[in-house]
Structure 1
Amino acid sequence: MGTYVVTGSASGIGAATADRLHAAGHGVVGVDRAGADVEADLGSPGGRFEAVARIGELVGSGAVDGFAAFAGLGPSAGRAGSSLVAVNYFGAVDLLVGLRPLLARSASASAVLVSSNSTTTQPGWPIDLAETCLRGDEHQACDLADSYGEYGSVLAYPATKAALAYFVRTHAAEYIADGIRLNAIAPGMIDTPMTRDADPDIAAAMKAFLELVPARRAGRPEEIAALTDFLLGPDSRYIVGSVIFADGGLDAQQRPLDWPRPASPPEE
Structure 2
Amino acid sequence: MTEQGRGASLIKRGLLLTVFLAPALLQAGDPPIAVGEREAQPFQRYLEDYERCQARREFKPVRGEYETREEYRRRVERLRAGCDGRERLEPARFKAPVFLSYDADAQRFSFELPQARTYRIRYDALVWDDFPKLLVKLPRDKWHVDDPTPRASVYKECRLRRVSFDPAYFSRVEPYRADSWRGCMTYYQRGDDFGWHREEGVFSIEDVTFHAYIPVDKARRLKRRERDLYYLVSGSLRVPERRFDAEHVELRDVRTGEVLITLEP
Q: TM-score, normalised by structure 1?
A: 0.23
Q: Looking at CA atoms only, which structure, 1 or 2, has the larger radius of gyration? A: 2
> Which has more helix, going by share of residues?
1
Q: Which protein is richer in strand relative to its size?
A: 2
- Could you tell me the TM-score, scaled by structure 2's length? 0.23
